[in-house]
Amino acid sequence: MPRATVLLTEDDPSVLESVGDALQDAGYEVLRAPSSREALLKLSDAVHLLITDLWLPGVDGLALLTEAKQRHPLLEVVLITGNATVQSAIQAMKAGAFDYLTKPFTPPDILDVVERALEHRRLREEITRWREHGDEQTATQIRNLIGRSPKMQAIYDTIHRVAPFKSTVLVTGESGTGKEMVVRAIHELSPRKNGPFVAINCAAVPASIIESELFGHERGAFTGASARAMGYFEAANHGTLFIDEVGELDLAVQAKLLRVLETGTFIPVGSTKEKSVDVRVLAATNSDLQLAVDYRHFRSDLFYRLNVVHIDMPPLRDRIEDVPLLVRNLLERLCAEHKLRVPDVDEKALEALQRYTWPGNVRELRNTLEAVLILGQKPLITDVDLPEHVRRAVGGTATGGPAPAVDLDVAEKETIDKALRQTGGDRNRAAQLLNVSVRTLYRKMARFGLR
């Protein structure tokens, strides 16, 4: 059964074919349209996600986005752009696009953004039902997305306490723990929910252009700046700006970010005129920013300004009591998506799921359950249906030790520690020895808690 229906709109036949095939291979039902006009004809409530090129003949992608969102408010939209400045893509995000992809991109790039967009749609649907009904049953559904362990209930309460205010929030935690889900939930539950939600991943933007991306630039500000460009702060005016991997910002950009947080003003690159914005900033990182402050890699004043409210997402292995609830909740949502009957889970399978360390956290759990559903389609999930590395975890024996991803982390930490010891703690020489930049070394040291 198809996972979800994606409407792909692209006038380049080769891109339409390659992206469409990648989505189909991943299990999505794909509707293809070479123009906005044909896309509008195929658009219906059955379509979960629209992926469209920004530049299309006739009605362009931005107009298609606007029309599609008017007809189907819950529809998620991802823009494809060939613009290096992504200026039009920023405008599209302000108009309601979930995210954008810049050509060229790889199949993993498109599959990642599709998964995140559909997860966001599911969250919005849950929140919409909660707002419409306002009953305890729907509130419980939202709560179950997070978990019932004391740690996660504290996070749930914090989300609801902080959502009505403009305070900055710093969300920390490993990959796959749900940092972006928490950030989007704060926005959706806030008075800014009808304003733009704009997201930038600092790790995915070259350091040479991150200042321009955040604050915009004037024509002639640098080579290739042929026109004025709006930045993410301006695009997020009267809404929320989500700065993911904030620890990747260099010190000069950190200073500018601090100013806009303190004064609500900034100066675009190449300009002398100050701009004012009303933006709530939510930030996330999987690094130890306090350690980065100790290394003088991150400004202490910016850290304290971002860390007004701190939400630390625990890894799934530290809240294993939530696994049964998450398994049930994820199975119900996956079966609704695939139009399958919800299976039962026997005791040995549940024990295996609770013993496994889940290095990829909730994201890995969801993907594992989806594979079990699709490949098995049985009324009862047993331990035999689970992947071998999950089954091996039962009993906590040597064969059921940490998953490969955790072993790789340990190996990387040991390699960095060895390089630091060999160089007497000289981080510049250690970076050369490891063939990485000093910036990357600092980030990895912060991640692994090395001093």
Is 405's pLDDT higher than 60? Answer: no
For the chain, which domains are there?
5-116 (3.40.50.2300), 147-314 (3.40.50.300), 320-400 (1.10.8.60), 404-448 (1.10.10)
Judged by DSSP in three states, 200 sits in: strand
What's the pLDDT at 445? 83
What's the pLDDT at 30? 96
pTM over 0.85: no
* CB of 320 closer than 8 Å to CB of 350: no
280-332 tens-digit pLDDT: 999 999 999 999 999 999 999 999 999 999 999 999 999 988 898 889 888 98
Is 442's pLDDT higher than 80? Answer: no
Q: In sequence order, which ranges of 49-163 are alpha helices (DSSP H)?
A: 61-71, 87-94, 107-133, 136-146, 150-162
Judged by DSSP in three states, 217 sits in: strand
- What does 240-288 look like in DSSP terms, one character per residue? EEEEETGGGS-HHHHHHHHHHHHHSEE--BT--S-EE--EEEEEEESS-
44-63 tens-digit pLDDT: 989 999 999 988 888 888 89
What's the pLDDT at 245? 94
Least confident range from 129-143, 148-162, 225-239, 255-269: namely 129-143
Q: Which of 288, 319, 298 is nearest to 250 (CA)?
A: 298
Ramachandran assignment for 56, one of left (phi > 0), alpha (psi -120 to 50 degrees), beta (any other):
beta
What's the pLDDT at 406? 40
192-239 tens-digit pLDDT: 988 999 999 998 888 888 999 999 988 877 777 777 788 999 999 999
% of the chain residues with pLDDT over 90:
43
Strand-strand pairing, 29-33 and 5-9? parallel
341-374 tens-digit pLDDT: 999 998 899 999 999 999 989 989 988 998 899 8
DSSP at 343: P
5-40 tens-digit pLDDT: 999 999 999 999 999 999 998 889 999 999 999 999
Least confident range from 95-99, 233-237, 272-276, 346-350: namely 95-99
* Alpha-carbon gap, residue 153 to 346, rounded angstroms: 27
What's the pLDDT at 130? 60
Residues β-bridged to residue 229: 217
% of the chain residues with pLDDT over 70:
86
What's the pLDDT at 126? 66
φ, ψ at 341 (rounded to 5°): -75, 140
